Amino acid sequence: MPHTYEFPRPALTVDCVVFGFDGSGLQVLLVKRGIEPFLGAWALPGGFVRMEENLESAARRELEEETSLREVFLEQLYSFGEPGRDPRGRVVSVAWYALVRPDQHPPKGDTDASDAAWFPIDGLPGLAFDHERILAMALDRLRGKIRYQPVGFELLPKRFTLTQIQALYEAILGRTIDKRNFRKKLLAFDFLIPLEEFTGGAHRPARLHRFDRRKYDALAKRGFLFEL
């Protein structure tokens, strides 16, 4: 019997903090627990890691099973392993955070069986386990990351207006930003492509743009700082 097997093992789970943006505020996707413990409470989507899958696959599988979300931006956040964080016994959780575009959002009620629902970041219900702590850490990470990595685009439609992305930055950073300075700086990076398409609606149409990842990657390799 290999050395490995002489030790009792903690159980291993993954949990996902799923962020969305509705045009004015940051939101988080939660699921209502259908089993004990914390039956009926809201929690982060997640579950046990299987023996043959890697950690990211486990996170993506749970995400799809519980929220129908596929092919989202997903990045590892932190691992939580306080004894006592799960009343069932020793459970270590590898936490991830995901960013999803509005056009990827699951239609409400689409999720099979137990409920999943979006909550505004400043109107969250109490959460099961230590999920509030995990969520707080994910939010910190997002706030830090968005300032020097182009992750904001993962929360917007593929084609978006400059006003939309400014609203996103203002919502996440929690302060207003000067419109002219913001646009000047963002466009100077030269990884946003202005399209010949415009929004419709009640007022002056706004030009749509898309993020050019190739251009960004090229710049990033040349040792480049984002810093919005």
Q: List the one residue from 175, 204, 221, 222 that touches DNA (CB under 7 A).
A: 204
Binding range to DNA, per CB under 7 A, among 30-38, 39-47, 128-136, 161-169: 161-169
Q: List the one residue from 73, 78, 189, 226 that touches its own copies (CB under 8 A).
A: 78
Contact of residue 201 among DNA, its own copies, none (CB under 5-8 Å per partner type): DNA
Contact of residue 86 among DNA, its own copies, none (CB under 5-8 Å per partner type): its own copies
Residues contacting 154, CB < 8 A, separation 6+:
72, 73, 99, 100, 101
Is the distance from CB of 87 to CB of 36 less than 8 angstroms? no
For residue 144, the Cα-to-chain-centroid distance in whole angstroms is: 13
Decide: is 101 part of the binding site for DNA (CB under 7 A). Answer: no
In the numeric block, the tokens 């964080």 are attached to 85
For helices 179-189 and 162-173, angle between their N-to-C axes, nearest 10 degrees: 110
DSSP codes joined into one string, 141-161: HHHHHTTTSTTGGGGS-SSB-
Q: List the one residue from 3, 175, 180, 221 that touches DNA (CB under 7 A).
A: 180
Q: CA 107 to CA 188: how far, in whole Å?
A: 37
Rule CB under 8 A: which of 35-64 touch its own copies?
35-36, 48-55
Q: CA 160 to CA 199: how far, in whole Å?
A: 9
Decide: is 206 part of the binding site for DNA (CB under 7 A). Answer: yes
Closer CB to its own copies, 50 or 158, in the complex: 50
Q: How far is the CB of 79 from DNA (least distance, A)?
A: 34
Binding range to its own copies, per CB under 8 A, among 26-34, 90-98, 155-163, 188-196: 90-98
Binding range to DNA, per CB under 7 A, among 60-68, 116-124, 144-152, 180-188: 180-188
Q: What is the residue type of 74?
A: L
- H or E element at residue 137: helix 131-145
Residues that bind DNA in the complex, under the rule CB under 7 A? 161-163, 178-181, 183-185, 198, 200-207, 227
